[in-house]
Amino acid sequence: MSQQRFTHLDEQGHAHMVDVTDKEVSERVAIAESWVSLNQETFELIAAGGIKKGDVLATARIAGIMAAKRCSDLIPLCHPLALTKVKVEFELHPRSHRIRIESLCKLAGRTGVEMEALTAASVAALTIYDMCKAVDKGILIESTRLLEKSGGKSGHWQREDGRA
């Protein structure tokens, strides 16, 4: 249970970008989610929106995709990666007035893409927040987390209490 298990800290406890030079190139996939909880009225404005709804979610989708590409620029110790696929999708949950965001990132590379997927989901959530905040001050971004990852030495992993 020693400290060195924080791979992003060296033996002196100083942050560094971990050496992945010798890791093998393999196909890496990560799936993450984030939930945005709105009040009923705001949720219905989005859900009933037809074309108009379109632009709220389309904007959040683009923001999420672009943020995945910027991940290593935001998260200090992330490696710069040439992502080969990014996807951001939305599910509307009318009963709980919540929107579920699911992001998927893929790479043929030397390190995993969890942070890219989590960044995509978070920034998509923040974008929905931004577009709705004038009508709903009580918005909550909840449960941002990794659902699944594969590739690399640690293989396939799936959150047990995974997708709702």
Q: Nearest approach, Cβ of 92 to a second copy (angstroms)?
A: 13
At residue 92, the 3 state secondary structure works out as: strand
Q: Nearest approach, Cβ of 86 to a second copy (angstroms)?
A: 4
At residue 130, the 3 state secondary structure works out as: helix
Distance CA 35, CA 105 (A): 18
Minimum CB distance to a second copy smaller for 92 or for 140: 140
Distance CA 46, CA 54 (A): 9
Q: Nearest approach, Cβ of 58 to a second copy (angstroms)?
A: 4
- Whether residue 121 contacts residue 101, with contact meaning beta carbons closer than 8 Å, is answered with yes
Distance CA 16, CA 37 (A): 36
116 labeled binding residue: yes
115 labeled binding residue: yes
Q: Tokens for 106?
A: 């893929």
77 labeled binding residue: yes
Mind telling me the catalytic residues?
130
Minimum CB distance to a second copy smaller for 39 or for 93: 39
Q: Which residues are annotated as a binding site for substrate?
A: 77-79, 115-116
